[in-house]
Structure 1
Amino acid sequence: MKLLLAVTLILSLPILELYLLMHSSAYFGVNQTLLFIVVSALCGIFVLRFQGASNIKKMRLTLSQGGLPTGALFESVFILVGGIALLLPGFISDAVGVMLLIPLVRRYMLLMFFRRLI
């Protein structure tokens, strides 16, 4: 049942994204919608590069102190997914990307992930 729900969400997401893009271009105009898509992709590249480099430094520091950088490694995965989501055109993927790039939200998601794992 969970697999069917996941497949349905994954397949319906592009249709919903196209629907929202069409309606936003009808409401705001095509130029403003395209500008939003380009600006969000550029922001995704910038934030991905900045936060990714910062997280790599954090992992190196943890490794040099003899620890395992598991938290920073999982944060890197969330940063990568968030950056990729910002690169994809659409409002839903941009919202997910922004949420994954906010450090407080990312740490909360990591906490929920580790609680579910244990």
Structure 2
Amino acid sequence: MKKFLFGLLALVFAEIALFIVIGNAIGVLYTLLLIISTSVVGLLIAKQRGTKSVQDIQKSLQQGQPPAVAMIETFMIFIGGALLALPGFITDIIGLLFILGITRKLFKPVIFYFLRKRMKKGQVVILQR
């Protein structure tokens, strides 16, 4: 928990420093417009890709296949969209990496490894209703 809080605090300080640097380079108004435009464009992309991803989950379920990959992709798109909604350049870059298909393929093995590791330790519980 301490590592998470320290990482979050470091991210906030890095975002503030980057705001200052970019604000000095291009001006405050353009910096604000850039932040707002990246958030809006990113959220529109996340909405479009998220809708397709949810449809992929439904399609997998209708075909009787486990929707694990589609669920991971939907989760990644949701996290990417949330990061894009936050003001900041670092969070925008990370959010775009989670939304873009090419980079999402790079993150999937890491997420599957993390989930398998948690399941072996008994830290992941799957409930069926």
Same fold (TM over 0.5): yes
Whether 1:89 and 2:61 are equivalent positions in the alignment is: no
Q: 1:60 and 1:5 mapped to 2: Cα distance? A: 37
Range moving further from structure 2, 5-14 or 25-34: 5-14
Q: Secondary structure at the match of 1:89?
A: coil
Alignment length (residue pairs): 116
Task: Tell me the CA shift for residue 23 of structure 1.
Answer: 1.6
Q: Secondary structure at the match of 2:87?
A: coil
Task: Tell me the CA shift for residue 113 of structure 1.
Answer: 2.0
Q: 2:46 and 2:92 mapped to 1: Cα distance? A: 13
Task: Tell me the CA shift for residue 5 of structure 1.
Answer: 3.4
State the one-letter code of the partner of 2:23: S
State the one-letter code of the partner of 2:26: F
Aligned equivalent of 2:5: 7
| Unmatched runs of 5 consecutive residues or more in structure 1 | none
Aligned equivalent of 1:73: 71
Q: Secondary structure at the match of 1:67?
A: coil
**Superimposed CA distance per residue, residues 56-103 of structure 1 (whole angstroms, 9 cap, x where no aligned partner):** 111111111011111111111110110111111111101101111111
TM-score, normalised with respect to structure 2: 0.83
Q: 1:22 and 1:65 mapped to 2: Cα distance? A: 52
Task: Give aligned-pair identity as a percent.
Answer: 27
Q: 1:70 and 1:13 mapped to 2: Cα distance? A: 30
Aligned equivalent of 1:40: 38
**Moved runs in structure 1, 4+ residues, more than 4 A?**
none
Q: Secondary structure at the match of 2:64?
A: coil
Task: Tell me the CA shift for residue 7 of structure 1.
Answer: 2.6
User: Of Structure 1 and Structure 2, which has the larger fraction of its residues in helix?
Assistant: 1
State the one-letter code of the partner of 1:69: P
1:44–1:84 contact (8 Å) kept in structure 2:
no
Aligned equivalent of 2:120: none
State the one-letter code of the partner of 1:30: V
Task: Give the CA RMSD over aligned residues.
Answer: 1.3
Q: Secondary structure at the match of 1:14?
A: helix
Q: 2:43 and 2:112 mapped to 1: Cα distance? A: 28
